[in-house]
Amino acid sequence: MFEHSEHLYDAIYAWKDYPAEVERLDAVIRERLPDARTILDVACGTGKHLELLRGRGYEVAGVDLDRRMLELARERLGPDVPLHVGDLVDLDLGQTFDVVTCLFSSIAYARTKERLRNSVVSLARHARRMGLVLVEPFFTPDEFEPGHPWAVFVDQPDLKVARMDVSEVRDEIGVLNFHYLVASPSGVDYFTELHEVGLFTVDQYLDAFGGAGLEVTHDRDGPMGRGLYAGVKVRTPGE
Cα 15 to Cα 8, 11, 122, 144, 227: the distances in Å are: 13, 8, 30, 21, 18
> What type of residue is 172?
E
- Residues 2-14, mean pLDDT to the nearest whole number: 95
Contact of 52 with 62, CB cutoff 8 Å: no
Q: What is the pLDDT of residues 38-94, one digit of tens each?
A: 999 999 999 999 999 999 999 999 999 999 999 999 999 999 999 999 999 999 999
pLDDT computed for residue 186 by the predictor: 96
pLDDT of 154 strictly over 80: yes
- Residues 156-164, mean pLDDT to the nearest whole number: 98
pLDDT computed for residue 27 by the predictor: 98
User: Quick one: how far is CA 74 from the chain centroid?
Assistant: 17
* Residue 196, beta-bridge partner list: 175
pLDDT computed for residue 238 by the predictor: 63
Q: Which H/E stretch holds residue 71?
A: helix 67-77
> What type of residue is 186?
S
pLDDT of 174 strictly over 80: yes
Rounded percentage of the chain residues whose pLDDT exceeds 90: 97
Structural domains of the chain, ranges and CATH numbers in brackets: 6-140+199-233 (3.40.50.150), 149-198 (2.20.130.10)
DSSP 152: E
Contact of 40 with 132, CB cutoff 8 Å: no
pLDDT computed for residue 239 by the predictor: 62
Q: Is the pTM of this model over 0.85?
A: yes
pLDDT computed for residue 70 by the predictor: 98
Q: What is the pLDDT of residues 94-146, one digit of tens each?
A: 999 999 999 999 999 999 999 999 999 999 999 999 999 999 999 999 999 99
Cα 239 to Cα 123, 132, 142: the distances in Å are: 17, 18, 34
What's the residue count for the chain?
239
Give the angle 15-194-48 at the CA atoms, nearest 5°: 35
Q: Which of 215, 2, 21 is nearest to 104 (CA)?
A: 21
pLDDT of 230 strictly over 90: yes
Cα-flanking dihedrals φ and ψ of residue 30, to 5°?
Answer: -65, -35
- Residues 3-8, mean pLDDT to the nearest whole number: 94
pLDDT computed for residue 122 by the predictor: 97
pLDDT computed for residue 237 by the predictor: 72
